[in-house]
């Protein structure tokens, strides 16, 4: 059992201090760290197993025009999920400051749009830097991995996998509250 994001303080002897009003307590859940290259196969497996929904945010999706790299493969898995009638809902960053990243994201969004997957872009005033996926309202991926070859093959990245319907609900609510400027579908 892993207690995620604990604001609960413990004194010597295991006594719990009073938590101020309005502060949420921890959420018990099963968790697994996914460092570096371990993220990609785990995420791919859960995309393949999705039966109902995939909700996510990503800062950068960059296939670099290599059809066999990891991010291109994950986009194919999202398209395959859509073909299995899995609802796919993504929010992707569009930046006024990083034209290359925005172009890569728009290219990926166009590929997904052609497959019937709506992609929402954040507003110019918000940078969607979170990297999250929630699968079937239960399985959560959170961390530093962008959908890029560098992130999945050579960068020092760390993400976490959670098995928690409660955290899935909270992450999905976060994603759906991100201000968006446009959508492709």
The CATH code of the domain that includes 131 is 3.30.870.10
- Helix, strand or coil, per DSSP, at residue 170: helix
pLDDT band at 96 (very low <50, low <70, confident <90, very high): confident
Whole-structure pTM value: 0.85
Average pLDDT value for residue range 34-55: 97
Please report whether residue 17 resides in a domain.
no
Closest CA to 7 of 20, 22, 25, 21: 25
- Domain of 125 in residue numbering reads as 40-184
**Mean pLDDT over the full length of the chain:** 87
**Contact between 133 and 140 (Cβ < 8 Å):** yes
For the stretch 108-163, pLDDT in tens is 999 999 999 999 999 878 888 899 999 999 999 999 999 999 999 999 999 999 99
pLDDT band at 17 (very low <50, low <70, confident <90, very high): low
Closest CA to 38 of 165, 168, 155, 164: 155
**Contact between 127 and 121 (Cβ < 8 Å):** no
| Segment among 10-14, 43-47, 163-167 with least mean pLDDT | 10-14
Domain count, the chain: 1
pLDDT band at 23 (very low <50, low <70, confident <90, very high): low
Please report whether residue 16 resides in a domain.
no
Please report whether residue 56 resides in a domain.
yes
| Segment among 5-9, 71-75, 76-80 with least mean pLDDT | 5-9
**Contact between 40 and 152 (Cβ < 8 Å):** yes
Task: Say whether pLDDT at 24 is over 80.
Answer: no
Question: How far is CA 177 from each of CA 9, 75, 78, 174, 180, rounded to the nearest angstrom?
Answer: 30, 24, 22, 5, 9
């Amino acid at each position: 059992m892993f207690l995620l994001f604990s604001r609960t303080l413990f004194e010597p002897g295991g006594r719990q201090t009073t938590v101020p009003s309005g502060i949420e307590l921890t959420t018990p859940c099963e968790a697994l760290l996914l460092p570096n290259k371990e993220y990609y196969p785990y995420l791919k497996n859960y995309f393949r197993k999705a039966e109902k929904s995939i909700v996510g945010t990503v800062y950068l999706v960059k296939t670099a025009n290599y059809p066999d790299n990891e991010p291109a493969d994950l986009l194919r898995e999202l398209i395959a999920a859509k073909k299995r009638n899995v609802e796919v809902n993504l929010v992707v960053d569009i930046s006024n400051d990083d034209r290359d990243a925005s172009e890569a994201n728009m290219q990926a969004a166009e590929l997904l749009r052609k497959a019937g997957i709506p992609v929402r872009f954040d507003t110019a005033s918000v940078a969607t830097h979170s990297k999250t996926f929630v699968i079937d309202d239960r399985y959560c991926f959170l961390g530093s991995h962008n959908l890029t070859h560098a992130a999945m093959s050579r960068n020092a990245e760390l993400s976490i996998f959670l098995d928690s319907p409660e955290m899935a609900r909270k992450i999905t609510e976060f994603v759906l509250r991100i201000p968006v400027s446009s959508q492709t579908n």
